[in-house]
Structure 1
């Protein structure tokens, strides 16, 4: 059979598209029944399996095992007729030494070996900034998206980006091999793929890398791209969305499976007219989804390579049309294992055969694994008797630790902060290694400082405490006391370091990441951002330097639930009316 990868599908250039044909692998060979010479050919039902992954964040160790599952599924489709379309819901690269040291290339190369048809661009795809060591533009001519463009340009599969716009022109941002949508042909069936990302993208990555961009509405973009794909002959349209949901159970009953009904991807599905798309592969929320919303099957498979999602479509007739579909619950690569070692776990069987790790994928990631090996294992000094846990929404020992390290490592700072979104993994028990620190904080953010009035800092804190959705701020150098008084939120500060009490007209120095100072996670709230200084130190380097001064770390020394640094009368978001 032939597999076609179509050019970018946007309405103004549709007439100019000329698909490039490539020979398909034998696993996608069509299966048809023979007919007598005088009879019309009988077309057998065909199954197309959509396999979705999302939010890998550089965890390349999972990919050889994923390859084994895919090998089994492709053989099953070869036997019964049909094929497999493998796609990703974004946030592929940022997050581990193995990926970050080579700016995502080990992930891109492993995805090529796995046979991905396309991936959508997530918010953290913009984190690497210019090509090379710097995470943000430093010199005239630095391209703030140079690393991402280099990854896409040399990729055998497209990076889809339909709803990212150029702020100056309003047109879709166009870069090599980064179309808004594409068509793949599997077993003679044309499948349209459109990629979108959360409308929160610009405030959940490093703002200096995206300040010349803007986001178009997700649902509106999908409608436009899907119509173009249908016009170009797509028999099904699949959305790759770096926007997600969250469900606790997987009976496909969204009302009973403890799903967050207001999640972004559910709202998008409900906004689409019937028949616009046939499925959504979601991401961003690091959660599980295997549910039908507004007659659209949606899958999302947690994060970090832990699982994959799958939808099987049955096509019948000529021209082929979908007559049935089946949604699978997220499939764990290491079933029943909470924190798996992907290189050692026993996956068992899948599609009637033992799962064997892919040697081809192991070879693709070998360079990244070797480059990171020595640095990952290096000891930092302190010993942890128990894990130092993190929390995204509430005060945690890890958040307080990172705020403390920032304060101690930043000369002249009165208060330091860490954001919940930057806390990616608990620090494990035992001798602390650089690899563990890196996975807890994989971002190449720098320390930044600003001078503010105490009264303005109180407004910043109040704005944060009223917000829903964003990660919690952790504080060092101060305890925050917040109470509702006369239907307004009153914030008081208690200094916890040497010095005079804070007074509203005092000027203080605050320290945080450049991501936060640049407005990430709406850090400044309704304040006009002041001037700030971005220092030479990476935050992670500051953490490493300060941790080497420690012998032991204990979670109970960092977070006391009876004396919280965030002393609140109610949980966020706080409403006083």
Structure 2
């Protein structure tokens, strides 16, 4: 089965074990994993606010989301948090809304261990489990368990939860295993945190309803996701009524999208129907006091149905903040201040202090960078003449390039198919390195081949073009969409092998499709398919790296998305027709 990248001379599995042990050694003697409800003091708040005051107290909720392993941003985040804690001692709570570990060579090689250790030092109070927390699969080198092998498909995630024990829990109020709450060490629906200011904050975590379709299906077997709003209402009631929470904050790996961030009460720039907005609108009045959102990689700094919601892009770009004023006499939050996302730029003045990267956090993340430096710099013998862009909702040069290379890797296939979410960064101009390719394709998916009828492919593209998911990337095929009497109609034309090029695909045709195991197992808009894995255990990213080394030469964006010759085209009126499911 697949092995992830291993920098010589030490194997990845040994590195994971060695690094985790090194981190754990620094935590020897710490208490065991906290029970489902834990009272803890907020880290680093060195000067307590008087608990005897009856005057209203303002606290700051600092939220991060979708770090995706960008540990290089954490020292600067530490500088900002240090400045805020110095200005507001005893009144700062740092939380994360998930998709934290997976996404970079520096984090993936160690299955997220450097992130957890940095989060411990930063003083996080809790972390919500996001869909990509399941991507690593079992602890060790396999991304999924080999067929017939014994083991735990959530082993890597549980190892990170165990590593965080004594510092912060992982939260999941709407994830069930065999119909019950997760019974994993240091994982709970909610936690209670008592600030040094005397305020008790209940934190609960939820994840997007799309989680089963947005991670490797094999790693999610036996789990289910319950409706978000119901889970929030239930857990918020318990936090207030039986667990002593003064304030309730949701860490939601579900998000929204707003383009104007100046006025938190102006929702005109916010995309209606977004998952977290629907959750907020479905909650009973006063159920929760704030939501830290995630998943969409967009920005939100708005009040929806009276609830402050913050989301701060992705990849360590920024953090969010909402200040809540608690009135001890009224025993409720009487006001809130929502801040637009603050970008993580060192040297700026924040809360009266010039922000300097936190040296202790830097010391934690530096070894991970040093360990992968040689692998990251490995040349692939190809020059990128201009940046090759990835786009999530539109056909892109990078999507077309990668799907074309997938088809080249499987000469027996008729077409290739990939999902936009599998690609995460542009290929930069200049000599292409393994690290740059890894940043673009950070998932350890394997190349697979499946067989699909023409009708099934037409239905797939119809669903995809009418959905809110990212566009499918294709090779060996052209897709033409038009409006019909009952909605969007899709035609397929072969565009690969010379003998078949230009032939219209019939409903009864059966095509061999090169794709990834993620899609073949039912990811994205696909239903699970019978499939065969390509020869060898490498991730398809590494097969592409080997292919590029053999090919050499240069890559130009215009070779992969020719003006006036897209692989997916819309007849006049078709884009509006495709909006029907949005």
Q: Residue in 2 aligned with 1:342?
A: none
2:81 is the alignment partner of 1:53: no
Q: List per-residue Cα deviations over 1:181-218 (Å, max 9, x = no partner).
A: 00000021110000001111110111111021111010
Question: 201-210 or 360-369, which moves further after superposition?
Answer: 360-369
Q: 1:409 to 1:125 in 2, by over 3 A?
A: same
Question: 365-374 or 141-150, which moves further after superposition?
Answer: 365-374
CA distance in 1, matches of 2:258, 2:484: 37
Q: 1:26 to 1:121 in 2, by over 3 A?
A: closer
2:35 is the alignment partner of 1:7: yes
Q: List per-residue Cα deviations over 1:545-570 (Å, max 9, x = no partner).
A: 12221310000010013011112212
2:155 is the alignment partner of 1:146: yes
CA distance in 1, matches of 2:85, 2:492: 61
2:336 is the alignment partner of 1:325: yes
Q: Residue in 1 aligned with 2:240?
A: 230
Contact 1:54–1:302 (CA under 8 A) maintained in structure 2: yes
Q: Residue in 1 aligned with 2:29?
A: none
Q: 1:380 to 1:173 in 2, by over 3 A?
A: same
2:578 is the alignment partner of 1:574: yes
Q: 1:367 Cα deviation (Å)? A: 2.4
Write out aligned runs for 1:400-439 (5 A). Answer: 400-439=400-439
Q: List per-residue Cα deviations over 1:50-100 (Å, max 9, x = no partner).
A: 00000000000000000000111001012xxx4210000100011000000
CA distance in 2, matches of 1:576, 1:157: 43
2:31 is the alignment partner of 1:30: no
Tell me the secondary structure at the aligned position of residue 537 of structure 1.
coil
CA distance in 1, matches of 2:530, 2:542: 24
Q: Residue in 2 aligned with 1:383?
A: 383
Q: Residue in 2 aligned with 1:545?
A: 546
2:544 is the alignment partner of 1:561: no
Q: Residue in 2 aligned with 1:38?
A: none
Q: 1:236 to 1:385 in 2, by over 3 A?
A: same
Q: 1:256 to 1:197 in 2, by over 3 A?
A: closer
Q: List per-residue Cα deviations over 1:431-478 (Å, max 9, x = no partner).
A: 11111111111000011101233343333333333x311111111112
Of 482, 491, 515, the match for 1:512: 515
Q: Residue in 1 aligned with 2:219?
A: 209
Structure 2: stretches of 5+ with no match in the other structure: 1-32
Contact 2:229–2:279 (CA under 8 A) maintained in structure 1: yes
Q: How many residues align?
A: 535
Q: Residue in 1 aligned with 2:24?
A: none
Contact 1:244–1:285 (CA under 8 A) maintained in structure 2: yes
Structure 1: stretches of 5+ with no match in the other structure: 10-18, 33-40, 335-345
Write out aligned runs for 1:350-365 (5 A). Answer: 350-365=350-365
Tell me the secondary structure at the aligned position of residue 180 of structure 2.
coil
CA distance in 2, matches of 1:576, 1:46: 47
Structure 2 length-normalised TM: 0.88
Contact 1:238–1:280 (CA under 8 A) maintained in structure 2: yes
Tell me the secondary structure at the aligned position of residue 239 of structure 1.
strand
Q: 1:283 Cα deviation (Å)? A: 0.4
Q: 1:157 Cα deviation (Å)? A: 0.8
Q: Residue in 1 aligned with 2:262?
A: 251
CA distance in 2, matches of 1:321, 1:575: 42
Contact 2:43–2:124 (CA under 8 A) maintained in structure 1: no
Contact 1:312–1:325 (CA under 8 A) maintained in structure 2: yes
Q: 1:44 Cα deviation (Å)? A: 4.4
Q: Residue in 1 aligned with 2:285?
A: 274
CA distance in 1, matches of 2:270, 2:185: 38
Q: 1:176 Cα deviation (Å)? A: 0.7
CA distance in 1, matches of 2:149, 2:215: 21
Q: List per-residue Cα deviations over 1:201-247 (Å, max 9, x = no partner).
A: 11011111102111101000001101110021100000000000111
Contact 1:487–1:576 (CA under 8 A) maintained in structure 2: no
Q: List per-residue Cα deviations over 1:122-160 (Å, max 9, x = no partner).
A: 000000000011111115222110000000012021010
Q: Residue in 2 aligned with 1:12?
A: none
Q: Residue in 2 aligned with 1:87?
A: 95
Contact 1:31–1:44 (CA under 8 A) maintained in structure 2: no
CA distance in 2, matches of 1:223, 1:321: 17
CA distance in 2, matches of 1:255, 1:87: 26
Q: Residue in 1 aligned with 2:190?
A: 181
CA distance in 2, matches of 1:209, 1:90: 17
Contact 1:448–1:512 (CA under 8 A) maintained in structure 2: yes
Q: 1:576 Cα deviation (Å)? A: 9.0
Q: Residue in 2 aligned with 1:288?
A: 299
Q: 1:572 Cα deviation (Å)? A: 7.7
Q: 1:20 Cα deviation (Å)? A: 5.9
CA distance in 1, matches of 2:460, 2:328: 61
Write out aligned runs for 1:515-534 (5 A). Answer: 515-524=518-527, 529-534=528-533
Tell me the secondary structure at the aligned position of residue 27 of structure 1.
coil
Q: Residue in 2 aligned with 1:341?
A: none
2:201 is the alignment partner of 1:191: yes
Contact 1:77–1:83 (CA under 8 A) maintained in structure 2: yes
CA distance in 2, matches of 1:51, 1:485: 49
